[in-house]
Amino acid sequence: MLASVLNVTYLVGAVALVLGLRGMSSPDTARRGNLWAAAGIGIAIATSLIYPFEGAEHNNYGWIAGALILGSIFGWLAAMRVKMTAMPQMVSIFNGLGGACAVLLAVIELQQAGAATGAAQLSVLMLTLLIGGVAFSGSILAYLKLDGKVWDSQVTLPYHGAVNLVLLLATVGFGVYLTTTGNIPTGLLIGLLVLTLVYGFSFVAPIGGADMPVVISLLNSFTGLSAATAGIVYGNQIMLVGGILVGASGTILTILMCRAMNRSLLNVIIGNFGGGGAASGGADGDQVVKTVNPSDLAIQLFYAKSVVIIPGYGLAVAQAQKTCKELDDLLSANGVDVVYAIHPVAGRMPGHMNVLLAEADVPYPKLLDLDAANDTLAGADVVLIIGANDVVNPDAENDPASPLYGMPVLKAWTAKQTVVLKRSMSPGYAGVQNPLFFLENNKMLFGDAKASLQELVGEVKNL
């Protein structure tokens, strides 16, 4: 009777998790969705702690309570202190820890496996170990690369795609061999674990910075799948359902982001797009850019009918989203139509710009997706490009030799006037120069994005 009641409780938790994921599909409902998901996971944890199981005489509630308290304190402090620019790093770390949990569960169960353990059970355990290990070490390297602690050139080998293929075959082959042995020696199990972690590290090594949003999404799906396989091992419905939901949503998001970049997932993994190469293409070295000062730009913005703001990672780095919103409020009060054009892979994680602007209380209806934004950009009076580079590069449409060619971009150049807020003329993560900077209808405002926006705000207030 108790088990039946608890199974219904698991169902309630799963439904709450589904509602949470649905809510998080839109920035407008993301906060409420996050609360639903947290409630679902909380119900699942509480139910698991009272669910009847074999060996219930071993009371480990003290250890469990201690782990819950420490984890909650760590998570709370990390979430409260993290800067918006470091949000992708925190996501990578938390995602990696989920993979690490799956690895620990698999290792413990494999150590206890004996001759009586069936091949199917061993296969699921091996799958949990392999997927969780790749998610863990891959996420850690993604964190290090995002945080600037490791550069692509430091971890990428010649013919790295071939190296990864060899490591993958070796890891899977070793796992299949151990599965057939039945009784797995500890030494060989440790060897497989090390090999899995090395492959996860190597898997992410050749992937460039511009592809990091895709990688984070892919690794998130890996963590979900490892949780699902762990749920099969323990016969835990909520782990299975939750893992499948996270794995499926991560996979769908990965596919959508690849489509937004007009590239296959295989190309992302082995293509090394955005590897930080030397600047090339786009413009000749003798071309000259035109600059604008804050006073003239403020007048142009104040008397414009329509202004489109294109945010990029530079806006996050400068922590200028609230200053940007202040400028938006001033212009809107003067009757200017201000909207934001959001590229799907702008920033360093899925939805980075949406989260950034939501923090500044920018209304969700002002955020335009790629198609709607391009319709609005055509003929807009002024387009402010703040810290974005590759996602507004015309070479994506005009230069077949460019690594960006074929990638859907925001067509800022179709506006009457574009203004780029940028520290310097350095190329973006794809390592190529942007010919937009040299177009007749473009001007540059050099400097820190926050300082430049603060000057603009001051000038607008004086008009």
3-state secondary structure 398-447: HCCCCCCCCCCCCCHHHCCCEEEEECCCCCCCCCECCHHHHCCCEEEEEC
End-to-end Cα distance, the chain: 74
Contact between 196 and 173 (Cβ < 8 Å): no
Who wins on pLDDT, 138 or 406?
138
Q: Which fold has domain 294-461?
A: Rossmann fold (3.40.50)
Percentage of residues in the chain with pLDDT exceeding 90? 42
Strands (E), 103-232: none
Q: Which of 113-117, 214-218, 300-304, 368-372 has the lowest mean pLDDT?
A: 113-117
Residue 335: is its pLDDT beyond 90? yes
What is the predicted pLDDT for the residue at 285? 52
Who wins on pLDDT, 15 or 277?
15
Q: Where do the structural domains in the chain lie, given as residue ranges?
A: 82-271, 294-461
Segment 187-197 mean pLDDT: 93
177: number of Cβ within 10 Å:
12
Segment 306-326 mean pLDDT: 91
Packing angle, helices 87-112 and 119-146, rounded to 10: 160
SS3 of residue 202 by DSSP: helix
444, 447, 451, 453 alpha-carbon torsion, rounded to 10°: 10
Give CA–CA dist 94/257, Å, rounded: 21
> Residue 71: CB partners within 8 Å, gap ≥ 6?
none
Two tokens, residue 113:
């496996």
Which one is catalytic: 152, 211, 328, 390?
Answer: 390
> Residue 67: CB partners within 8 Å, gap ≥ 6?
none
Q: Which of 286-290, 355-359, 433-437 has the lowest mean pLDDT?
A: 286-290
Which DSSP string do the residues of 239-265 spell out, in sequence order? HHHHHHHHHHHHHHHHHHHHHHTT--H
Give CA–CA dist 447/174, Å, rounded: 54
Residue 356: is its pLDDT beyond 70? yes
Q: Which of 46-50, 116-120, 367-371, 414-418 has the lowest mean pLDDT?
A: 116-120
What is the predicted pLDDT for the residue at 400? 86
390 is an active site residue: yes
Dihedrals phi, psi of 451, to nearest 5 degrees: -65, -40
Packing angle, helices 87-112 and 212-234, rounded to 10: 30
Give CA–CA dist 141/362, Å, rounded: 33
Segment 315-328 mean pLDDT: 91
Dihedrals phi, psi of 24, to nearest 5 degrees: -75, 0
Pairing of strands 382-386, 367-368: unpaired
> Residue 240: CB partners within 8 Å, gap ≥ 6?
228, 231, 232
What is the predicted pLDDT for the residue at 402? 81
> Residue 358: CB partners within 8 Å, gap ≥ 6?
27, 30, 364
Q: What is the pLDDT of residues 270-284, one digit of tens each?
A: 655 554 444 444 445
Segment 431-440 mean pLDDT: 87
Amino acid letter, 264: S
Query: According to DSSP H, which parts of 205-236 are helical?
Result: 212-234
Two tokens, residue 323:
């200053």
Q: What is the pLDDT of residues 91-120, one digit of tens each?
A: 889 999 999 999 999 998 888 876 667 788
Q: Which of 167-171, 282-286, 352-356, 409-413 has the lowest mean pLDDT?
A: 282-286
